[in-house]
């Protein structure tokens, strides 16, 4: 019998060969409530064994999308396939998936072992020793063997989270849907659980679909991310690609911190600039837009170069408003012109004493490499 533990031991990163069909395929899926469209037509392919996150602000439609995949909501239009099988007409219990919520939904009167085993019971797996072996392996996967006989009220929040995760994967579903499961944990524990979730997903080889508004969670754990806004998918890509190459202004502003400057694009075959009101011409990528087009220039704070003193050629004059120490970095808040504010960062271990001595009100020069300035349609 192939079990959770034996499969993971065989290969910690590839437990089983992915199926040919994607784990989830959405084709033109929409959802309306009365006259309000909360999910506009979405086409989405989530691969087998993938850690896929759906990221966006509250009210963007991400939870509704997940509920349609789970079968708790019926699409107004379009089709949903799990492993190549159409499931729109199937109830949740007949879809090969499990869900993990922020509340964990553990039974207070049952032990940890029995909470995990309940998932197997409802799926009709009552035989022994297979059932006991599956529970033992799920406990080992989340490092909860020593707590098997405890009740949920005898566990910490992080331990209850681990039990809920073990219950979600013990039956080896093809897909686990996770609806902001780390929201109730403190910041440090959330960071630890992010690493644990990714480790577990790799070990068991199950497709995880993670719904969150927390960009750090999505960037930390995901193989790919779908960024949503107002019921539409704005971009689907790997975390680094979404951060470095946002598709539009919304993605640039929602993922991480970004300086967004509105201006007019100009270019020659050799160089390109964006004219920003009150600031002047600044460098941009060649060929990123048409001459005379209104654009948004997106520059990440770590890409800005600061120098104490007056601005020279190719630099922007700015005034330091504040310097904030954040432990691993310094964050500089700058005013380049009336209504134009910039944020720059540098590692706190930097040996640049000139910047360390800066005080609010000091004049600084700001610049960046043209290739670090992403030009977006306004």
Instruction: Please tell me the predicted confidence (pLDDT) of residue 189.
Output: 83
Q: Model-level pTM greater than 0.85?
A: yes
pLDDT confidence bin for 185, thresholds 50/70/90:
confident
**What is the pLDDT at residue 19?**
65
Q: What pLDDT is attached to residue 2?
A: 41
Residues β-bridged to residue 179: 101, 211
Q: How many CA atoms lie within 13 A of 195 on its CB side?
A: 5
Closest to 341 (Cα-Cα) out of 278, 283, 282, 284: 278
Q: Record the tokens describing residue 89, joined without a space.
A: 């007409």
As a whole number, mean pLDDT of residues 36-42 equals 97
**For residue range 152-167, what is the model confidence (pLDDT) as tens digits?**
999 988 888 889 999 9
**Higher per-residue pLDDT: 325 or 125:** 325
CATH dotted code for 4-244: 3.40.50.300
- Angstrom CA distances, 66 to 78, 106, 179, stand at 14, 21, 8
pLDDT band for 319, please (50, 70, 90 cuts): very high
* Overall fold of domain 257-306+314-377: OB fold (Dihydrolipoamide Acetyltransferase, E2P) (2.40.50)
The pLDDT-based confidence of 12 (bands split at 50, 70, 90) is very low
Please state the domain extents for the chain: 4-244, 257-306+314-377
pLDDT for the residue numbered 14: 35
pLDDT at 65 over 90: yes
Q: Is the pLDDT confidence value at 6 over 60?
A: no
- C-alpha triplet 64, 65, 67: angle, nearest 5°: 60
**Domains 4-244 and 257-306+314-377 in one fold:** no
């Amino acid at each position: 019998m192939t079990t959770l533990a034996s499969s993971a031991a065989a290969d910690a990163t590839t437990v089983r060969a992915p199926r040919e069909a994607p784990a989830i395929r959405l084709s033109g899926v929409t959802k309306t409530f009365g006259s309000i469209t909360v999910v506009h037509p979405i086409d989405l392919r989530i691969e087998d064994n993938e850690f896929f996150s759906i990221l966006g602000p509250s009210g963007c439609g991400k939870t509704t999308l997940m509920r349609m995949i789970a079968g708790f909501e019926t699409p107004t239009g379009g089709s949903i396939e799990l492993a190549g099988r159409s499931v729109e007409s199937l109830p949740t219990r007949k879809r090969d998936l499990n869900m993990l919520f922020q509340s964990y939904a553990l039974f207070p009167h049952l032990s940890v072992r029995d909470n995990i085993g309940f998932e197997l019971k409802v799926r009709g797996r009552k035989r022994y020793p297979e059932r006991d072996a599956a529970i033992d392996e799920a406990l080992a996967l989340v490092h909860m063997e020593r707590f098997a006989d405890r009740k949920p009220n005898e566990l910490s929040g992080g331990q209850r989270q681990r039990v809920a995760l073990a219950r979600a994967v013990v039956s080896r579903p093809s897909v686990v849907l996770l609806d902001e499961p780390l929201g109730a944990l403190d910041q440090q524990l959330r960071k630890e659980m992010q690493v644990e979730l990714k480790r577990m997903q790799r070990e068991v080889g199950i497709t995880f679909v993670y719904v969150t508004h927390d960009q750090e969670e999505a960037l930390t754990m995901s193989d790919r991310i779908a960024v949503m806004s107002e019921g539409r998918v704005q971009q689907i890509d790997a975390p680094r690609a979404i951060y470095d190459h946002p598709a539009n202004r919304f993605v640039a502003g929602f993922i991480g911190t970004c300086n967004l400057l509105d201006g007019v694009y100009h270019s020659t075959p050799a160089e390109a600039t964006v004219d920003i009101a009150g600031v002047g011409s600044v460098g941009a990528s060649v060929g990123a837009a048409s001459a005379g087009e209104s654009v948004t220039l997106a520059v990440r704070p770590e890409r800005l170069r600061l120098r104490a003193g007056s601005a020279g050629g190719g630099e922007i004059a700015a005034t330091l408003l504040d310097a904030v120490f954040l432990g691993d970095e310094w964050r500089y808040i700058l005013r380049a012109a009336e209504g134009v504010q910039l944020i720059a960062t540098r590692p706190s271990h930097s040996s640049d004493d000139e910047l360390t001595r800066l005080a609010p009100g000091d004049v600084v020069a700001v610049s960046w490499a043209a290739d670090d300035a992403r030009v977006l349609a306004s």
